[in-house]
Chains A and B, each alone.
Chain A
Amino acid sequence: MVGIVIVSHSAKAADGIKELAGQMTGDIISIEAAGGLEDGSIGTDAVRIMEAIKRVDSGDGVVILADLGSAVLSSSLAIELLGESVGKKVKIADAPILEGAIIASVQASIEDSLENVLAAAEAARSLPKKA
């Protein structure tokens, strides 16, 4: 099953998004929140992200949902730190963090492939807010 990592500058935001994703899927998915720094302050930390990736990786790959620019920088550094063989199956979704996380979680929960989970997350970019 594809793992999911939520990377936000805010630990609260990452935890909250993980909670929302869990409402749709229950406990069956592997999802970690990697928000903020070790001491709880605002920011992103590639080492924390790397450890979260390791925890959710079952070999089927991992999709990362990230908030602002430097979350992507830290995530890409985390992937580099993991080394090539693990890192090549970790993808940063070009998607809005919250909607992308929910959609990715649903797809992961039905055992969809890494490519499909990623694509589904990225399709969240075009979800309209108004009916």
Chain B
Amino acid sequence: MNSNVYTAILEIGDAINKNKELLTNLDAAIGDADHGINMSRGFEAVRAKLEGSTGEDISAVLKKVGMTLISTVGGASGPLYGTAFLRAAGAVQGADSINREKAMEMLSAVIQGIKDRGRAVKGEKTMLDALEPALDAFSQGVKENESLLGCLEAACKAAEDGVEYTKTIKATKGRASYLGDRSIGHQDPGATSSLIILKAVTEYCRALIQEA
């Protein structure tokens, strides 16, 4: 399989694992205290699942990631991130590399998939509050002819701001919505894991470029 994509996915898994406690604690405040545990379990299973696979294209690898997360993450993040990776797989069907334009298509497909599945929009204190600003910043970067890395860095900054923003709003989706106003003041775990994933991908791209 494409070794860069494979490594990027492992890096994502590492980043999630490193932040397992943070994500679980965030989820303890406004959810059922298992987001970090669930995501970590999911990416451990992904690591195991991808090990035996060779010679598969990018789309097939991303599809495997999606299908594995679906069956191992357990909470809402399973179907949400599962759908995200499946839609990303669809966006790179037939491609053997990911450039700036393809990356934007993937992020766009990811967001649409999450919206289709979760029926959420921006402002409801979900992962979309990190991902939608990220896409806006990414596409602004493309317009300004920034490199892929430049676009990713802008996307991460916007996602970070988005995560901060989630502290100020009430949850109207997911378990946190049961808390109503008490969810205000707390950072959304799903938006946080989305940021962690974006950052891991960005860091990996930066490392690749520095090696080149």
Contacts and interface: CB of A to CB of B under 8 A. Distances in A.
Q: How large is the interface on A (under 10, 10 to 19, 20 to 34, 35 or more residues)?
A: 10 to 19
Given A46-B79, A47-B67, A73 B73 contact: no
Contacts of A37: 71-72, 74
Interface in A38-92: 38, 41-48, 68-70, 73-74, 76-77, 80
Contact of A77 (B74, B75, B83, B174): B83
Given A37-B74, A45-B70, A73 B118 contact: yes
Contacts of B67: 47
B70 A43 contact: no
B74 A48 contact: no
Interface of A: 9, 37-38, 41-48, 68-70, 73-74, 76-77, 80
A77 to B, nearest CB: 4
B80 interface: yes
B21 to A, nearest CB: 19
Given A46-B71, A76-B117, 19 more contacts: A37-B74, A42-B74, A43-B38, A43-B78, A45-B71, A46-B78, A46-B79, A47-B70, A47-B71, A69-B76, A69-B174, A69-B175, A70-B78, A73-B79, A73-B118, A74-B78, A74-B79, A76-B79, A77-B83
Q: How large is the interface on B (under 10, 10 to 19, 20 to 34, 35 or more residues)?
A: 10 to 19
At the interface, is chain B mostly helix, strand, loop or mixed?
helix
A115 to B, nearest CB: 23
A37 B82 CA distance: 15
B92 to A, nearest CB: 19
Given A37-B71, A77-B83, A45 B78 contact: yes
B16 to A, nearest CB: 17
A73 B174 CA distance: 11
A35 to B, nearest CB: 12
A69 to B, nearest CB: 6
A77 B82 contact: yes
Contacts of B71: 37-38, 45-48
26 contacts: A9-B74, A37-B72, A38-B71, A41-B74, A43-B75, A44-B78, A44-B79, A45-B71, A45-B74, A46-B70, A46-B71, A47-B67, A48-B71, A68-B175, A69-B174, A70-B78, A73-B78, A73-B79, A73-B80, A74-B78, A74-B79, A76-B79, A76-B117, A77-B70, A77-B82, A77-B117
